[in-house]
Amino acid sequence: MSQSLRIFRIYGIDVKVHFSLLFILAFLIYAFYVMPPPYGYSDFSGNVRLIMAVVTTVAFFGCILFHELCHSYFALKFGSRVRGIVLFIFGGVSLIDDIPKEPKKEFVMAIAGPMGSFLLALISYILMVIPNPVLDRFLYIMWYFNLILGLFNLIPAFPMDGGRVLRSLLAGRMGFVKATKVAAEVGRFMAITMAIVGLLMPNIWLILIALFVYLGAGEEERHVTLEGILSRFRVQDIMTPNPVCVKSEMPKQQVLDLMMKYKHLGYPVVDDYGRVIGMVTLKDLLEKPGETVKDVMSRQVVVITPETTADRVLKILTENRIGRIPVVDENGRVIGIVTRSDIMRVSEIVDVLSHYSKFYGTPDYA
């Protein structure tokens, strides 16, 4: 998420807070301060009351962080990349790339968060035997919160944890893509149900969560469907062969003339043997000082081979925030180029054909 600030790093995972967290922190501190027992501290004296309201609020998000760390731990164990954990107004989210498509692995990853919350609830319940009224109140709130957090996340409202558990159970029978479609439909139904309940109660928080789930289910379904389509194609099927390349000694104006002629906004920079040594884009030419391509080109170039799958290329483009990638042979010579537009165009064509031709069904994973 944008507008997030990293606060620390644990097990190689950046933990960030979104600016929206400030609103819920202030609200929860006030709520614990004024609420009567057993969910607040209004019956305690001033200093104790305020301190415990703050401590309980921080502990709330500590429990949410532990919930997300349980997901992230198993994600790392199964070879996924965890870009970070973000705490925000709705709780927390683990930013995990390459979620395993093996049903058993996804099941473990999805169930780990709720199980972590249940573990904290159990520990809090056991510790309530300590004869201290302030600590007993705190532990009761922690027990109740973690129990509800675990149960709520097990609701089969995809892409929540329960929805991912449902998908993992379905994927073993019908494949990953079809299971995602079914789980997304169930998630949208649960979101509509939550929204109706939220309107009747009324509860604005439940309505916002329902909206979050509804949009998330649709986005996840589109992403998995696109990934399934693109996984059928390799770079050699969609690349533009023999692309226009430039030399490092070329003047900037000459490259701009090429852009006007060929209508491309970026070109590989090659040496005398045709091996890629950089990339130059319109942004480089306009924003960086210098007279030649060598002065402004990007030297850290991401390259791919013709055998790379299209879904993998899209991930590389997204992760590196670039619009095009040179395709090279075994000797490093440029033989083609692939852009984000190429990939999306293939997806659109296949999507249209899938409605008119029996030869283009929606792909699925084995």
Distance CA 364, CA 119 (A): 36
Is 36 in the same domain as 169? yes
Strand order in the sheet with 4-10: 4-10, 13-18, 81-88, 91-97
Pair 45, 186 in one domain: yes
Q: pLDDT (tens digit, 0 to 9) for every residue of the chain, 366 residues total?
A: 667 899 999 988 999 999 989 899 999 999 999 999 999 999 998 899 999 999 999 999 999 999 999 999 999 999 999 999 999 988 899 999 888 889 999 999 999 999 999 999 999 999 999 999 999 999 999 999 999 999 999 999 999 999 999 999 999 899 999 999 999 999 999 999 999 999 999 898 899 999 999 999 999 998 898 888 888 899 999 999 999 999 999 999 999 999 999 988 999 999 999 999 999 999 999 999 999 999 999 998 999 999 999 999 998 998 888 999 999 999 999 999 999 989 988 888 877 776 665 444 554 443
Question: At 329, which helix (H) or strand (E)?
Answer: none
The answer to whether residues 170 and 250 belong to one domain is no
CATH number of the domain residue 254 falls in? 3.10.580.10
Does residue 206 sit in the same domain as residue 312? no
- For the beta carbon of residue 1, count every other beta carbon within 10 angstroms: 12
User: Quick check: bond before 202 cis, omega within 30?
Assistant: yes
Q: Is 319 a catalytic residue?
A: no
SS3 281: strand
Q: Which two tokens stand for residue 7?
A: 């606060």
Q: Are residues 22 and 75 in the same domain?
A: yes
Give me the domain span that covers residue 264: 235-341
Quickly list H helices, the chain. Answer: 21-34, 46-77, 103-127, 133-153, 161-174, 176-200, 204-230, 235-238, 252-262, 282-287, 293-296, 310-320, 340-353
Cα separation, 310 vs 234, whole angstroms? 5
User: Which residues contact residue 109 at a Cβ distance below 8 angstroms, ignoring those fewer than 6 apart?
Assistant: 71, 74, 75, 78, 80, 96, 99, 100, 164
- 113 and 17 both lie in a single domain: yes
Render 185-206 in DSSP notation, one character per residue: HHHHHHHHHHHHHHHHTT-HHH
Same domain, 70 and 36: yes
| Domain presence at residue 171 | yes
- Residue 67 lies inside a defined structural domain of this protein: yes
Phi/psi at 44 (5° precision)? -100, 165
Check whether residue 181 and residue 281 sit in a common domain: no
Residue of 68, 106, 220, 221 with catalytic role: 68
Domain count, the chain: 2
Same domain, 219 and 246: no
Q: 36 in a domain, yes or no?
A: yes
In the DSSP assignment, the letter for residue 331 is T
107 alpha carbon, distance to own chain's centre: 18
Same domain flag for 79 and 226: yes
181 and 240 in a single domain? The answer is no
220 domain-assigned = yes
Q: What does the angle CA 357 – CA 307 – CA 355 come to, to the nearest 5 degrees?
A: 15
Position 16 in a domain: yes
